[in-house]
Amino acid sequence: MKRLLSAILLLSIAGCAGLGGYRESVRVTVSAIELSESTMLEQLYRVTLRVQNRNEQAITIRGGSFDLTVNGRDFGSGVSDSVLTVPAYADAQLEVRMVSTLFGMVRLFHGLASAQDTDLTYEISGRFSADGFLGGVTFREAGEFTMPTRKPG
């Protein structure tokens, strides 16, 4: 009887693990950030994310959330209830809203003022709800960009 229960338990665990099938995670990068609204205490941005599907099947995203840091400091966070289907081995853009508070901006500018160079690092992390993915799809990407410098003259 014990063996039968053990076999059923092992088969159940294996079955649950295979529900979503093995799929490589998506890659998410920041394509653009535009300020859309600003008040004394918070800023609202329109952020364009590029979602790359590295799977042999299309992925349908049904909303999600993310956090963005710049130079290791929290900059903003966002959510989206948009639905997007990314074809197999393709990419698509997803426009989302991101909120940054006054304190996030102060931390960012304080970090920029003390920086020695004009290179900035960013990290975006989050989770999408997606059809066929038990628990959703998580992502984390980091990158670097250089702030333009003013030439004396």
| CATH classification at residue 136 | 2.60.40.1820
The count of structural domains within the chain is 1
* Domain with 93 in it: 23-144
Q: Say what the pLDDT of residue 92 is.
A: 97
134 in a structural domain: yes
Residue 145 and residue 122 in contact, taking contact as beta carbons nearer than 8 Å:
yes
pTM: 0.72
Residue 5 and residue 12 in contact, taking contact as beta carbons nearer than 8 Å:
no
18 in a structural domain: no
12 in a structural domain: no
List pLDDT tens digits, range 87-100.
999 999 999 999 99
120 in a structural domain: yes
If you write DSSP's letter for every residue of 85-107 in order, what string do you get?
EE-TTEEEEEEEEEEEEHHHHHH
Per DSSP (E only), the strands in the chain are: 27-38, 42-53, 59-70, 73-86, 90-101, 119-130, 137-146
45 in a structural domain: yes
1 in a structural domain: no
List pLDDT tens digits, range 29-65.
999 999 999 998 899 999 999 999 998 999 999 999 9
122 in a structural domain: yes
127 in a structural domain: yes
